[in-house]
Amino acid sequence: MDIYEKIYDTVLRIPKGRVASYGRIARMVGCGPRQVGYAMGTIPDGLEVPWHRVVNSQGKVSPRGDGGSDNEQRRRLLAEGVIFNNNGKIDFERFGWHISELPEDLSDWEEIIVED
DNA sequence: TTGTTGACTCTGA
DNA sequence: CTCAGAGCCAACA
């Protein structure tokens, strides 16, 4: 299983209405944060990955400079009930993905355990 | 094989 | 809070 499959697999498990940082995903799958960002930008056709639930460590949507995929991300999060504060940041205390919410149907999750 | 390139992060000012 | 600078590491040219 290559690193990107792991990344997509992990992002797939972020519950609706919650977010996780690139760094958090990176630690779970064992790669650098930038690979997670790269992975989000190159999702294969046919794979439904909730990429919008991944934000940077500050709780903000990372600027992309490509027109509007970052606005699209904010739009999708809002639609799921995620709130942005006055600084355009998401409060991880309220919307951060906590590992305890993992679904039951996980196989091979031991590999990716974590909690800080 | 080497050099660049980021949807990143941490630390310090 | 914002802004650099250094570190990061797989993909790509």
Which parts of chain A fold into alpha helices (H)?
3-11, 22-29, 33-41, 69-79, 92-95
For Cα atoms A105, A1, A113, give the angle at the middle one, nearest 5 degrees.
50
A116 CB and strand C closer than 7 A: no
pLDDT tens for A54-107 read 999 999 999 997 778 999 999 999 999 999 999 999 999 999 998 776 555 444
Supply the pLDDT for residue A105.
47
13-72 of chain A touching strand C, CB 7 A cut-off: 31-35, 38, 42
pLDDT tens for A12-46 read 999 999 999 999 999 999 999 999 999 999 999 99
A35: nt with nearest C1' to CA: C10
Supply the pLDDT for residue A103.
52
For residue A21, give the amino acid letter.
Answer: S
Q: Which of A59, A52, A61, A69 lies closest to A14, judged by CA?
A: A52
Supply the pLDDT for residue A59.
96
